[in-house]
Amino acid sequence: MAAKHILYLTNTGLVSLVARGGRLTGRRVFATNAPGREDFGAYVEGLNGLATYVLTDLAEEDFRLDTIPHLGGKDREAVLSRKLAQIFRNSPYRHAIAQGREPDGRRDDRVVYTAITNGELLRPWIEILEKHRVPLEGILSSAVFSEKLLPDLGLTFPHALLVTFTPGGAIRQTYFREREIKFSRLTPVDLEEGDTLGGLLAGETARTWQYLDSQRYFTPADRLEVCVLVHAKDRAAVEPALRDFNQIHYRLVDIEQAAAKLGLKPPPLGSSAENLLAHELLQRGADNHFAPPESRRFAQVRRFKIGLQALSACVLAAGLGYGGWNLFLALQNREKDEQTGQRVATIKQELDEIQRAMPTQGVAGETMRDTVAFYAGALRGYPSIGEFLVPVSGALARFPRVQLSQLAWQAAETDAAMPTIQPIQPRNLPPVKALAKAGDATPTAAAAKGPGESSDSPFVPGRVTVALFEATVRVDGSGFRPALAEVEGLVKEINGLKGYKASIVDSPLDITPKVAILGRFADAPASPSEARFTFKVTRTSEAAP
């Protein structure tokens, strides 16, 4: 646990408590005068900027009860700030405590306003802290903070009056109703001749009960549990004067036993409760009550620096971890790298030996140049069947009545070339077919060679890709019109492809005047059949992707 500095301010002095490792290890007391403040300034300068909390236990601390309409978020904060400014306009050290809602009616919010009405008691000490750039985490009311002692010490009663002694020789009485603070007052211990501490305490407790009863906090069946934190050596001066009544019951709580419950070591040497409250603050923490934002700016800077240091440490740890992991992998693979290097050296040596053993095959410079030029100009962009057929297959897929039977393709000099295929007759011939008239030749897919494509040509440049497709189209009965429309649509679809040109070579049914139509007719409707047709597709090399 980080070291912390706790200041306990009373009307007569300032107690400085330094905590290291969760334990109070240092204590100094400073008087509330000019020499005391000078000593405190020199003392603070040597604490190296410890996080500091101020616990106030002053007679000038006032408490007001109020209700406000039930609001939420920023609206409630605005109402509370305005109310505090109206009630305690002369003090910057003020605080509002929300305590739930009323049980009936509009169910307004219950609020307790508290403030240090005489800010001059606190201001000189805060100025010293600001001068030495001390990170002030908060200014807390000891009366409000003492509520945390009740559950830890088993003092949770419907009506509890917690009585503590201050290091300035005073008695603090704080009333809690269902663990909610309602009232607190500080009474100096000023004993006259013949008076006892117990008698003073009994009289002050009775006056407090009368005030609370006048505020209608009690019913006749209620009882006020007065819990007095006292050291064993002061018990004899207190206990005899404390008598229980119907509505007042005293409980003396041994402060050493209370310290043992809270884990405070060593226990307090007297009845003063500042060590107990400081230890509880270390263990449980608390929100700021009175410190304005400008007084806490050095604490914010300190937290920012701590955050940067933590972030830097994380980045450094991550970097070290990453570097260590890489070093581990490097060391782990070092032996493998050496083995790989040895194998590479062996292979290189064998390659050198093979090259030395091989006869020299010299290649003339002009031959190499011509070979490279031939590859770059002719072979690199030479057409392939795959990239030629992919767009055509996409067009075929959109005409399900057409089924491809076979194709022949070649790279040619011009689009006049015609690949040759061996016709395949479909199984189910249509009932109607075309026959050539006497003296006319039936159109066939004869092979043709373009200019520059003689059988003596050793190499075809492949400027044009030519393919001859054989396919069948489904004919329903004797209805050739839909079949012809399907074929024409396919040819039109291929012609729409960039760089492609398609034409029908053998139609499913030639209806030109050069042929005669022969058909078979029967009583029953003809069954679906397949009509064979061929079409030619060309593409120039400039259109290839």
First to last CA, the chain: 72
417 and 274 within one domain:
no
Where residue 527 falls among pLDDT bands split at 50, 70, 90? confident
Q: Are residues 37 and 146 in the same domain?
A: yes
Are 281 and 396 in a shared domain?
no
For residue 460, what are the domain limits? 385-543
> Does residue 510 lie within any of the structural domains?
yes
User: Does 337 fall in a domain?
Assistant: no
Decide: 165 and 231 in contact? Cβ < 8 Å.
no
- Shared domain check, 402 and 505: yes
CA distance 282 to 52: 11
Answer whether residue 102 is part of any domain: no
Asked whether residue 201 is domain-assigned, the answer is yes
**Mean pLDDT computed over 285-313:** 90
pLDDT at 190: 86
Out of 242, 260, 291, a domain closes at 291
11 or 370, which is more confident: 11
pLDDT band at 489 (very low <50, low <70, confident <90, very high): very high
pLDDT at 299 over 80: yes
137, 142, 148, 153: CA torsion to nearest 10: 140
Rounded Cα distance between 426 and 350, Å, is 62
Query: Going by C-beta distance under 8 Å and a sequence separation of 6 or more, which residues neighbour residue 33?
Result: none
SS3 463: coil
- Tell whether 242 is covered by a domain: yes
pLDDT tens-digit profile of 74-121? Answer: 889 999 999 999 999 989 999 999 998 888 888 999 999 999 999 999
DSSP 189-240: --PPTT--HHHHHHHHHHHHHHHHHHTT---TT--EEEEEEE-HHHHHHHGG
pLDDT-based confidence at 446, cuts 50/70/90? very low
Please identify which residue in the block is written with the tokens 């006292």.
230
281 and 142 part of one domain: yes
258, 291, 324 - which closes a domain = 291
Q: What share of the chain is helix, strand, coil (3-state, %, to 5)?
A: 40, 30, 35
Three-class HEC string of 142-174: HHHHHHHHHHHCCCCCCEEEEEEEECCCEEEEE
Do 285 and 401 belong together in one domain? no
What one-character DSSP code corresponds to residue 398? Answer: T
Could you say which of 291, 310, 337 is where a domain stops?
Answer: 291
Task: Look at residue 453 in the predicted model and tell me its pLDDT.
Answer: 47
Q: Is this structure's pTM higher than 0.75?
A: no
DSSP letter (8 states) at residue 418: B
CATH code assigned at 174: 3.30.420.40
* DSSP line for 107-132: -PEEEEEEEES-GGGTHHHHHHHHHT
Residue 254 lies in a domain: yes
Q: Total structural domains in the chain?
A: 2
Edge-to-edge strand ranges of the sheet holding 109-116: 61-68, 109-116, 94-101
